[in-house]
Amino acid sequence: MTDTPVTLAATDGRAARLPQKSDAPLALRGLTVSYGEKPAIFSVDATFPAAQMTAIIGPNGAGKSTLLKAALGVIPRLSGEVTSFGEPIDTARARIAYVPQRASVDWDFPTTVIDVVMMGLYRQVGLLGRFTGRLKSRALACLDRVGMGGFADRQIGQLSGGQQQRVFLARALAQDADLYLLDEPFAGVDAATERAIIEVLKSLKAEGKAVVCVHHDLATVRDYFDHVFMINVRKIAEGPVDTTFTSEALNATYGGRLAATHIDQLRLAEGA
């Protein structure tokens, strides 16, 4: 038998010992995605818990964003199963908000801040429904919550990177979801925006919502997150930050690409 990702995924032992059907906000089983011949993520199992903030970390090209996109069906998966709150992902979409990478859209698009936020209300209005005053004030409230209340009628191209990221977060808030999936929400944003975003995410957690972030900055993992998922094409480790975010796991994830001094500066969990 040839070692294509499909056959490997089918025979790989990891896929076999599966957790029982999960009611978790997001659960992946044996998720495999490949771009061409090379698997981008391979036979990944994961469970993202409710009322927790989870960081997905790993080196560049490890498949962090791919994991989110494949879970949501934004890119096709080769094999594997995705459930959300115990249901197939397609029937749970109303409970999921997705914040793509800021750089994935053209900010020169002719639209305003409030228009973008109202895209998050699509499920309420449908294809032809009317935006009532109540829905519009809800969108404005979401902008207020990310500190962008005064920018509603601004053309989106006039915003700074941090402001753009906050508008994306406001759009996700408008969806009023139970699971928030964010792809690098802190990439290239100013310190004030980072504080504003983390405040909002922590308040979501306090409301019992699940928050999952693709995250780059290892120095803030301990401060921001409760749960960590470490990936380098395959899953390396997952669990509470307190016990899982260890130098061993980091070395395994980054394959020695992190300098020892760098690791020393991270306030890591003691090796179990």
Partner 1 sequence: MGSEFVMFSLTPMLIGVFASVACALPGNFLILRRQALIGDAISHVVLPGIVVAFLLTGVVAALPMLLGAAGAAVLAVILIEAIKRLGRIEPGAAMGVTFTTLFAGGVLLLEQSDTSSVHLDVEHALMGNLESLVWLRATDWSSLMDPWALAGLPEELPRIAVVCFAVILLTLVFWRWLKISTFDEGFAQALGLPVGMIGMGLVITAAVAAVAAFDAVGSIIVIAMFICPPAAARLMTNGLERQVLWSVLFAVVSAVAGYVLAGYGPLWLGAEDAVSAAGMIATVSGAILALACLFGPHRSRVGAQAEA
Pick between residue 9 and residue 181 the one whose CB is nearest to partner 1. Answer: 181
Output the smallest distance, CB 171 to partner 1, in A: 8
Q: Provide the minimum distance between the beta carbon of 119 and partner 1 in the complex, in angstroms, as a whole number.
A: 5
In the complex with partner 1, the residue whose CB is nearer, 122 or 137, is 122
Closer residue to partner 1, CB minimum distance, 98 or 254 = 98
> What would you report as the CA-atom Rg of the chain, rounded to the nearest whole angstrom?
19
Find the distance separating the first CA and the last CA of the chain, reported in whole Å.
Answer: 39
13 φ, ψ (degrees, to nearest 5): -60, -30
How far apart are CB 120 and partner 1 at their closest, in Å? 9
How open is the CA angle 122-126-131, to the nearest 5 degrees? 70
State in angstroms the smallest separation of the CB of 109 from partner 1. 5
Q: Which is nearer to partner 1, 153 or 270 (CB)?
A: 153
Cα distances from 217 to residues 57, 59, 146, 186, 199, in angstroms, run 9, 11, 21, 9, 17
Nearer to partner 1, 69 or 209 (CB): 69
Least distance CB 169 / partner 1 (angstroms):
12
Interface residue list for partner 1 (CB under 8 A): 69, 72-74, 90, 93, 96, 98, 100, 104-112, 115-116, 119, 122-123, 125, 127-128, 155, 157-161, 171, 181
Question: What is the smallest separation between the CB atom of 2 and partner 1, expressed in angstroms?
Answer: 21
Half-sphere exposure of 202 (CA within 13 A, CB side): 10
Distance CA 254, CA 264 (A): 15
Is there a contact between 65 and 214 (Cβ–Cβ < 8 Å)?
Answer: yes
Closer CB to partner 1, residue 201 or residue 218?
201
Count of Cβ atoms closer than 10 Å to residue 52 Cβ: 18
The answer to whether residues 111 and 156 touch, using CB atoms and an 8 Å cutoff, is yes
Structure tokens at 75: 């890119």
